């Protein structure tokens, strides 16, 4: 019984000592705390976009995108998207086979070749076929 009493007393003593150390650590951390920058707020005259974000142009003409995130509002500068590839830049070649067209596109693993009937061409293949037909008539 004495042994249990000694253990309980020692445990309480260590607990109080630990509380004092944590209080001192918190006070030191508060003294060293760096002021936090103000969180961005979505301006009232910002234009909502279909994806749930907002576009805003500030007084200096800079364009900004604001988004609601689980961690608060995010503010980033609006940048133009990547350039859209033109069909004239596509390296695919076509060959007329009568009622079908053979397509050849170079890849790092060798040429990719496929054949389709002219009536079954999708929009991409139709554009490639039309491009090559215009090149042939221009020559």
> Does the pTM exceed 0.85?
no
pLDDT for res 13? 54
Among 133, 50, 61, 41, smallest CA distance to 93 is for 133
Q: Are 66 and 73 in contact (CB under 8 A)?
A: yes
Q: What is the pLDDT along the chain (139 residues), one digit of tens a residue?
A: 676 776 556 565 555 545 555 666 666 666 665 666 778 889 999 999 999 999 999 999 999 999 999 999 999 998 888 877 777 778 889 999 989 999 999 999 999 999 999 999 998 899 899 988 888 887 7
Dihedral pair phi/psi, residue 5, rounded to 5°? -65, -40
pLDDT for res 137? 83
pLDDT for res 69? 92
Residues 6+ apart with CB under 8 A from 91: 105, 106
Question: 3-class DSSP state for residue 22?
Answer: helix
pLDDT for res 9? 67
CA distances from 139 to 125, 133, 136 (A): 22, 10, 5
pLDDT for res 83? 79
Measured from the Cβ of residue 44, the count of other Cβ atoms closer than 10 Å reads: 6
């Amino acid at each position: 019984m004495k042994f249990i009493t000694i253990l309980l007393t020692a445990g309480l003593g260590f607990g109080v000592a630990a509380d004092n150390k944590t209080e001192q650590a918190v006070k030191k951390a508060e003294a060293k705390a760096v002021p936090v920058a103000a969180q961005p707020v979505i301006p009232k005259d910002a234009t909502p976009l279909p994806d749930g974000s907002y576009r805003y142009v500030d007084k200096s003409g800079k364009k900004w995108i604001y988004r609601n995130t689980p961690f608060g509002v995010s503010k980033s500068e609006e940048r133009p998207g990547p350039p859209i590839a033109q069909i004239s830049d596509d390296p695919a070649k076509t060959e007329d086979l009568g009622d079908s067209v053979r397509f050849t596109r170079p890849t790092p693993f060798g040429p990719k070749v496929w054949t389709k009937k002219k009536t079954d061409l999708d929009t991409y293949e139709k554009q490639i076929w039309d491009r090559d037909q215009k090149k042939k008539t221009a020559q």
